[in-house]
A = this chain, B = another copy of it.
Amino acid sequence: MPEIRKDPIVDRWVIISTERGKRPQDFPSPVKRIKKGSCPFCAGNESMTPPEILAVRPEGTSPNQTGWTLRVVENKYPALTLGGAVDRVGEGMFDKMNGVGTHEVIIESPDHEMDLELLSERRVEDCLWAFRKRILDLKNDPRFRYILIFKNHGDSAGASLEHTHCQLVALPIVPELVSDELAGSKRHHDYKERCIFCDMIAQEQWDGKRIVVQNEKFVTLCPYAPRFPFETWLLPRYHSARFESNGGETFPQLAEIFKETLLRMRMALNVPPYNFVIHTAPLQGNHEDHFHWHIEIMPKLTRQAGFEQGTGFYINPVLPEEAADVLRKVKL
């Protein structure tokens, strides 16, 4: 059973997941460059993964057979495990709990050569629906406090398999950066009775210099204080705290702008490795007034070094106004 331990000084939680464990000689670990034929995420290799939890497949095809266009399966090397209670315990002055959670993989295409941004809008929308369905299902488990959905794309962004996929982790705690966002947006709301993200969108639209693209319901922008070059956020222009409370009203527009944003990044930066993370309200508690869900997209263009690790203070060599301008000018 993995453990989740808390640093007593900065209240930072860490997963110690030795099931994925490595001996010293196993570092650094190369990305598995698995060939098309032997990739567990490819069509025809369904038996190489745990059984599917969810799939988009034509009527008449059976689970765990070919024919699907999207599949959700459990991660074969999960960072957290589903069985057991959370059990918070002390170890002298230290705190820990069991690593209870789930770790799932969303395979967005049966095609080994495909990338998310190259799929049709309809297929990108299928991914959004899969995220929503999995959140709504996992929300029924009272042990979970947060569901994190993210993508590691490309070697240096931490992908361990090159076949396009997203990951979902259900956690028994609210992670630190989300807590910080909640605290910051709550403080703003207590003071001004407005959502800080709505305020930010309004200000960004006023001069437009950090806006990349927008449609009726969504906007993509380079944030004022980005940690990374070409860091880009995708936000709903309407106030909404939770990703999963969205659906047919907005997902077509979200799929459109999400694909376009990733495509602009792909073309401007020559197919960069990237990460994206969906920031949404925790499963419990009332965050409806002050939190505003969004997607943070971070191309991996620089290495993070001691300075950043030692300070939580980032050095970014690219102005967000310039990054937005470059992304805006891409000819699609």
Identify the A interface with B (CB < 8 A). Answer: 5-18, 20-22, 24-25, 27-29, 79, 91-94, 148, 150-152, 156-159, 167, 169, 171, 173, 175-178, 180-181, 183-185, 188, 196-197, 199-200, 203, 206, 223-227, 229-230, 268-270, 272, 275-277, 279, 296, 298-307, 309-320, 322, 326
Contacts and interface: CB of A to CB of B under 8 A. Distances in A.
Residue among A93, A167, A226 facing the most chain B CB atoms (10 A cut-off): A93
Contacts of A301: 27-28
Given A8-B200, A167-B306, 18 more contacts: A9-B180, A10-B183, A12-B227, A13-B313, A14-B314, A15-B313, A17-B315, A17-B316, A24-B270, A28-B156, A28-B300, A92-B203, A93-B196, A150-B306, A150-B310, A156-B303, A157-B306, A158-B304
Nearest to A173: B313
B312 A175 contact: yes
A139 to B, nearest CB: 18
Contact of A310 (B29, B206, B275, B304): B275
A5 B318 CA distance: 13
A12 B298 contact: no
A9 B181 contact: yes
- Report whether over half of chain A's contact residues are helix, strand or loop; otherwise say mixed: mixed
Contacts of A303: 28, 156-158
Contacts of A314: 12, 14-15
B225 A7 contact: yes
Given A177-B10, A310-B177, A311-B148, A230 B302 contact: no
Residue among A6, A14, A91 facing the most chain B CB atoms (10 A cut-off): A14
Nearest to A323: B24
A270 B8 CA distance: 31
Contacts of A268: 24
Given A148-B310, A304-B304, A306-B157, A270 B9 contact: no
